[in-house]
Amino acid sequence: MERLDNRLGFFSAVPLGLILLLSFLAPLVVVALFSIMPQKVFSLANMPDFSAYSVFFAQGYYRSLLWALGMAFAASLVLFVLCWPLAYGMAKVFGRFSLVLTIAVVMSLFVSENIRLFGWVLTLMKGGLFEGYIRAWTGTGFESPLYNTGIIIFGLVYVYFPFMLFPLAQGISMVPDDTRQAAADLGATRWQILRHVDLPLAAPGIVVGTLLTFVLGAGALAESKILGGQAVIVIADDIETAFTFGQNWPLGSALSMILILIIGGLALFGVNRVDLDAIMGRKR
């Protein structure tokens, strides 16, 4: 009986499973195939020549990739340091107040990312909410902090905040209180407890949070465009340009493939090292 149920379950999952598989895989396959086509063709019926990949190095696209990865890395690092105390509070200290905090953070996701970023532009631009009022009151203005790499990282931190906070809080909640107490009892200082107990035991949450923010940050476009005013070009920007203005699908595809491979590799590496079942609350 149970086996029949299992089989029926499997069969009823097949149609949707196929659609999902197709809709996830098909674009990937198309992109992969286009990336090996000669430059500026719009058909897959050409001899593969990998020229788009050589352009990646020859025309310096690797610089935008490094910018994207570097800023995503910096944002993940800032997010980790920023979110740890808050996540700790949510998991161990705040109690019912955590729910209020969760709702507040989730609410920010209800508004489109672009609109929120434009909000920051209006706030921070010269003559905007911030500088405008200060100048009106004090008579002296200052340069806008917009349009540099710092503000792009700020934008990434701001937008991807929930993606670090919640996995981290989940990870910290998995650290048993008594192991922390036992470590203290055995003579560990706060820092030693953090290093030897909290960080290793919260590792699944740390890995998930860091991966999410890094992966999303590396492919992010709006922050560098809207807040950064294209002070630096990130790889996602190059990809968009290649597909649109450049009319060079193979180049766009090759750049995408490189980003996908790097991020995919990192994700696999990270996920393999932690027990994801633990954080999903599943017993092994």
Chain contacts with another protein (rule: CB under 8 A): 176, 178-179, 181-189, 192, 196-197, 200-201, 203
Looking at the Cβ atoms of 105 and 278, the one nearer to another protein is: 278
Distance of closest approach, residue 225 Cβ to another protein, in angstroms: 42
Q: How far apart are CA 36 and CA 53, in angstroms?
A: 8
Distance of closest approach, residue 84 Cβ to another protein, in angstroms: 18
Q: How far apart are CA 261 and CA 109, in angstroms?
A: 28
Q: How far apart are the first and last CA of the chain?
A: 25
Cβ neighbourhood burial of 81 (10 Å; 0-12, 13-18, 19+): exposed
Looking at the Cβ atoms of 59 and 181, the one nearer to another protein is: 181
Distance of closest approach, residue 189 Cβ to another protein, in angstroms: 6
Distance of closest approach, residue 219 Cβ to another protein, in angstroms: 32
Looking at the Cβ atoms of 111 and 186, the one nearer to another protein is: 186
Looking at the Cβ atoms of 17 and 176, the one nearer to another protein is: 176
Cβ neighbourhood burial of 229 (10 Å; 0-12, 13-18, 19+): middle
Instruction: Write the CA distances from 82 to 102, 112, 168, integer angstroms.
Output: 16, 23, 11
Contacts 24+ apart (CB under 8 A), 242-247: 247/40
Looking at the Cβ atoms of 105 and 184, the one nearer to another protein is: 184
Distance of closest approach, residue 234 Cβ to another protein, in angstroms: 37
- Max Cα distance, the chain (Å): 81
Cβ neighbourhood burial of 90 (10 Å; 0-12, 13-18, 19+): buried
Looking at the Cβ atoms of 203 and 211, the one nearer to another protein is: 203
Distance of closest approach, residue 277 Cβ to another protein, in angstroms: 14
Helix (H) or strand (E) holding 30: helix 2-35
